[in-house]
Chain A
Amino acid sequence: MQFTVQPSVLYALYTNTIKKEIRSKTLLFVFLLNIGLIFVVNSGIDLIIKSVEEQNLMNLSSQKAVVFYFLINIWCTVLSIIFGVDCIKSDLESGVASVLMAQPLRRWWYLLMRILGAGTIVFGHYLVSILLAGLIFYISDGTNQLTVQIIWALFATLLLNIAVITLSALISLSLNKLVAFILAMVVCTIISVANQAFATDDLLYHIKNLGLAKSIGLLAHYLFPRIGLWSSYAGNLVTGKTAVINYAWELPHYGITLIGLFILLSFLFSRKEL
Chain B
Amino acid sequence: MLEGNEVTATDTEYAIVARGVHKFYGTTEALAGLDLQVKGNSIFTLLGPNGAGKTTFLKTILGLVHFQRGDIRIFGKLTSELESRAQVGYLPERFYFYPYYTVLDTIAFFMALNGVQKKNNSEMIEKTLEMVGMSTLSKRRLSTLSKGQLQRVGVASLLVGQKKLLLLDEPFSGLDPLGTKDFKDLILKLKATEGKTIFINSHGLSEMEKIADDFAIIDKGKCLAMNSMKSLLPGVTLEDFFTNIIRGKN
Interface residues of chain A, those whose CB is within 8 Å of chain B, are 1-3, 6, 8-9, 11-13, 16, 19-20, 23, 94-96, 98-106, 271, 273-274
Contacts and interface: CB of A to CB of B under 8 A. Distances in A.
The size bracket of the interface on B is 20 to 34
A101 B88 CA distance: 12
Interface string B31-70: 0000000000000000000000000000100111110000
Nearest to B63: A101
Chain A CB within 10 Å — which of B62, B66, B100, B112 has the most?
B112
A13 B113 contact: yes
A42 to B, nearest CB: 35
Contact of A274 (B64, B96, B161): B64
Contacts of B112: 8-9, 11-12
B96 A96 contact: yes
Contacts of B59: 98, 273-274
Interface of B: 59, 62-66, 82-83, 85-86, 88-90, 92, 94-98, 100-101, 109-110, 112-115, 161
Given A106-B82, A271-B66, A100 B94 contact: no
Contacts of B82: 3, 104, 106
Contacts of B110: 103
B85 A104 contact: yes
Residues of B contacting A: mostly: loop
B141 to A, nearest CB: 12
A102 B115 contact: no
A274 B65 contact: yes
A96 B98 contact: yes
A203 B161 CA distance: 54
A4 to B, nearest CB: 10
Given A96-B98, A100-B113, A273 B86 contact: no
Q: Which of A13, A105, A273 has the most B CB atoms < 10 Å from its CB?
A: A273
